[in-house]
Structure 1
Amino acid sequence: MPLRRSLLAVAALVGLAAPANAGPLSAFDILRQFNVVTTGDLTTNSDIEGRSVVGGDLTGGATFFNNPGAAAASGFRALTVYGSATAGNPLNVNSGGGVTIGGSAAGLVNTNGGGGRSIGGGPDAPAPNPLPDFTTSFVEPLTGLSAQLAALEANSLLPGAATPGFPNNVPVTASAGEGLAVFALTTAQLASFASFSVNLNGRDGAIFNVTGASYTGQANFLNATSLARDIIWNFTEATSLDFQRQWGGTVLAPLAVVGNATPIEGSLFAARYAGRGEMHSQPIRFDLPQDPGGDPGTPVPEPAGLALFGLGLASLRLLRRRG
């Protein structure tokens, strides 16, 4: 068999083996596709501008997916609730994003622009159909990422109280180098700032590994919006977070009840979300680390893709032997 025909045969074989939605979501997929993911309940009357997944019940009336921005395409609809929508207030899902609610909906659900809808299993099929297991699809990848990032060795230092002007306009500057900047700090250190800015200093992005049980954020993050897609705040221990000023960056808080009085510019993963301010879609735009001891700039390989690639190589070797 000529090599060209062999390659076409391998391509066809790989195409047949690949599912329509290739494999489970990686942590990177989730943070690029979704604005908010909660393992438990979500309560808000404010806009969530990107795509949302609620592992528990949804309470309150809000508008979803009205400004998804740079969010990646997804096999999920704009609003997915594994539990029920328990409040009688109207829910608005905009931009043709659609809605899937596994349980019941107590109030009116408006799907503006279409996008499909399924409440309690009908009338339309859920997207995706059926809904995948929530723990394996969302919780495990994101909690795994949080633990993975927490194991990274810090390569940048936080300014101390001796910094001129402290605690105002504190310059948080990454060390020079390639890849990601990694900071290690406590919630008490973060709370000591009245205002601060972040300087990536040429780095691809920054990881802030924050330890401590709680944080009430009254600091003014001066360049929160401009760096929102370049930062991950990893609150590994916190059980309570309340952002009272505008915040920028993706927030990983697997154990926490998270609230906000003003917008959070970025994605959120939390145990529960009790929002008083908006959530703005600002998906990360840098590669995630490969492993705790690896190069922080190396992206995670796609397991399903690697498996199919291996299948293709094996098939090609077989075809060559037969030829």
Structure 2
Amino acid sequence: MNDQVSQKVRFVTIEDDLSGQRIDNFLRTQLKGVPKSMIYRILRKGEVRVNKGRVKPEYKLQPQDLVRIPPVRVSQGQPAPSPKLDSIAALTSHILFEDDRLMVINKPSGMAVHGGSGLSFGLIEGLRALRPEAKFMELVHRLDRDTSGCIIIAKKRSALRHMHEQLRTGKMDKRYHALVCGQWPDSRFKVKAPLRKNILQSGERMVSVSEDGKPSETRYHVLKRFNSASLVEASPITGRTHQIRVHCLHAGHPIACDTKYGDSEFDTEMRNNGLNRLFLHAASIAFIHPVSETTVRFEAPYDNALSSIVSKLQDR
């Protein structure tokens, strides 16, 4: 039998903590493993009802809404986290902090934050599989697939709203470590250059400095110097796509092993020293905890690849 029914008709009453969430995002958490295309199909056909009426995907849930979730027939071959059980289980060791509101993860390099673009699952899908009892689990912010380090997951909608407010008002302090080509000057404390995002025909995102781009600023200071490279700390003031990577390139000091914005000669040298990944790491994050209202700070240790290259460059 190729198909299986995922569940019977269910009725869910929306609690206050889930209010304000779009119905399509809510259904994705309720119908784990069901592709987005099918979720939009059952919404379009009116199989999902809110208070007995049809709704559009952008409808925002209200407290005490009664949501009818239909039985969904899912092909057993549909993408699901199961083939990646080892990767999912390994995420447990990457948890830096967890309580009933938030989780802070040291995201591995090479793992996308969410499924899509041909990927059956990413970090958030893996965490939902790891915590099947969690009613709510959403990314507070994002990291590029090849960037490692601190990322926050909200376990309640109220915590997500609290965190997003901090992002909007600049109260969240994110610090990245990047190994860059050449000697970053001590006198260069910031890069302020507008960025424009372009989507190529292939669907790939490329960002460039452009006068008609969005205002963007990153602050820097040097942590260590090596013969042909510098280890810098980068603090983004704005949060544009690929911001740190493009600002480093714009400053004339591209990041090691950056396949989009790197320097091929420098990258070859770093690969010859054993570096096989982008050296951009979200080293620490500080924010106001939504319950205690006090500032908390978390640091993510380097993985073996980053620790190894720093050690080799120091020994020269």
Please indicate the TM-score interval, normalised by the length of the shorter structure: under 0.3
TM-score, scaled relative to structure 1:
0.26
Q: Which has the higher contact order (CA 8 A, sep 6+)?
A: 1
TM-score, scaled relative to structure 2:
0.27
